[in-house]
Amino acid sequence: MIQNRGKVVIIEGSDEDGELVSTALREESFQPVLCPTSAEGFAAAADGRPVGVIIDWGLSDRPAVEVCRELRAKDPLLPILFLSTRTDEATVARGLDAGADDFIGKPFRRTEMVARFEAHARKAAAAIALVRAPGAAAPSSDGMMRFGEIEVDVAAREVRVAGEAVGLGPLEFKLVEYLCTNAGVAISRDQIMSKVYGYDADISTERVDLLARRVRAKLGEGPSRGGHLVAVPGYGYRWERRRRDDNA
């Protein structure tokens, strides 16, 4: 008997597209729950954690970016994918900035769509296992990840240093959240491009370095100051649980 791979909430206003997605996922042993409205989607997502959510960009009852932001605020590790007939750069950027992990154009290729969903589901499962591991930086009961003076408030999507809020942009926060969730683990630039930017095409690794430098500057952690966000030469970045100059 094939194992149930988990519930997938599909918020899709088109019956035809919704059935296509549902059938493709069901054939791979997922349990799709088709929801024609965002309200039904939220209810389905709240009724036992899904392994992922797929949202139609053209929802009629509520802007899809708002749905994505609300779902992301409730669950930072939930895989969220958009489906849309619009695939221009500005639309894709809006979706990714709202917190989505991927953006798939319609009409989609079933095999590719399922493969991309599975890839994000695997990454989420690995991240969840990591934060549950002994010594991992799982959010505390108040939803915080704490590293010395730095507090990462996952629910509020805010970072504070010594109690003062730091104005991070969406991509800057995603970088901090991703590295903090994997504290102590070296993350490659390619992994950062995939997870933080959400797509791989036409992105230079220099953009990752620029993003990291902006975050360091805002956190007051220049390369010579022994901060939490450290470069791994020739590879990428790592978030240290303690500052390199902290002898405590």
Asked, colleague to colleague, whether 7-132 and 144-239 share their fold, the answer is no
User: Please, which residues have CB within 8 angstroms of residue 41's CB and are 6 or more apart in sequence?
Assistant: 9, 11, 35, 53, 55, 67
Where does 144-239 sit in CATH, by number? 1.10.10.10
- Cα 80 from Cα 121, distance rounded (Å): 9
* pLDDT per residue as tens digits for the range 12-29: 988 889 999 999 999 999
Global pTM exceeds 0.85: no
According to DSSP, the β-strands at 7-11 and 52-56 are: parallel
- All structural domains of the chain with their residue ranges: 7-132, 144-239
Give the DSSP letter string of 108-138.
--HHHHHHHHHHHHHHHHHHHHHHHSTT---
The 3-state DSSP class for residue 32 equals: strand
Q: Are the CB atoms for 183 and 239 separated by under 8 Å?
A: yes
Which pLDDT band, with edges at 50, 70 and 90, does 53 fall under?
very high
* pLDDT per residue as tens digits for the range 89-120: 889 888 988 888 899 999 999 999 999 999 88
Which pLDDT band, with edges at 50, 70 and 90, does 227 fall under?
confident
Neighbours of 124 (CB within 10 A): 19
Task: Identify the architecture of domain 7-132 in CATH.
Answer: 3-Layer(aba) Sandwich (3.40)
DSSP category for residue 29: T
Query: What number is the average pLDDT over the span 132-141?
Result: 49
Nearest to 11 by CA among 67, 49, 78: 67
